[in-house]
Amino acid sequence: MAISHGDSVTLNYVGRLADGEVFDTSDRALAEQEGLLSENPGRMYEPLTLDVGDGSVLPGLQEALLGMEAGQQATVTIPPEQAYGYHTEERIGEYDREAFESMIGDHELTAGFEVEADSGLEGRVVDIGEETVTVDFNHELAGETLTFEIEIIDVE
């Protein structure tokens, strides 16, 4: 049965950056080998099940699944516009340091500190000045061309 919108699909995958670095996978052994397991110790590395068309995966990956069948394998390259978009200056904000420190309470302000805006947008502190704090709300994979090796396990 060829995959179409509305189908429930279970798949294994390996996501790589253009240089071959693995950034995500459903394979626990590969995650451990690549150091992902230590970065995300509570994460379950197992096949992914999704409903095609529900927007739960990258548009480029969702499009690539259409027409595939159980047992089929493919390598798919997804450009930034079909993945996490491009890195833009509009998604970088500068905030008053005193107000920012007040907002984060007892947490230590360091570069890399992750924050979530009221809108749900997630960002990382990229610069801490004497008077300001700069936060980058671009996705960490913005601007990246991604390659996924996928294997369709089941289609319902």
pLDDT digits 0-9 by tens, 66-106: 999 999 999 999 999 999 999 999 999 999 999 999 988 89
Taking the alpha carbons of 32, 35, 36, 38 in that order, is the dihedral positive or negative?
A: positive
Q: Looking at the structure, tell me whether residues 122 and 51 fall in a common domain.
A: no
CA separation for the pair 125, 47 (Å, rounded) = 32
CA separation for the pair 21, 101 (Å, rounded) = 35
The pLDDT assigned to 124 comes to 96
Residues of the domain holding 37: 8-84+141-155
Number of domains comprising the chain: 2
Residue 41 pLDDT grade (very low, low, confident, very high; cuts 50, 70, 90): confident
**Contact criterion met (CB below 8 Å) for 82 and 63:** yes
**Contact criterion met (CB below 8 Å) for 27 and 12:** yes
Any idea which of 21-25, 39-43, 60-64 has the lowest mean pLDDT? 39-43
Q: Looking at the structure, tell me whether residues 25 and 95 fall in a common domain.
A: no
Q: Looking at the structure, tell me whether residues 44 and 114 fall in a common domain.
A: no
The enclosing domain of 131 has a CATH number of: 2.40.10.330
The stretch 28-44 carries a mean pLDDT of 91
| pLDDT above 90: residue 112 | yes
| pLDDT above 90: residue 54 | yes
In a domain, 19, yes or no: yes
CA separation for the pair 113, 106 (Å, rounded) = 13
The pLDDT assigned to 50 comes to 96
The pLDDT assigned to 40 comes to 84
Mean pLDDT of the chain: 95
The pLDDT assigned to 10 comes to 98
Q: Looking at the structure, tell me whether residues 23 and 69 fall in a common domain.
A: yes
Best CA proximity match to 152, nearest among 82, 79, 64, 83 = 64
The pLDDT assigned to 117 comes to 84
| pTM of structure | 0.84
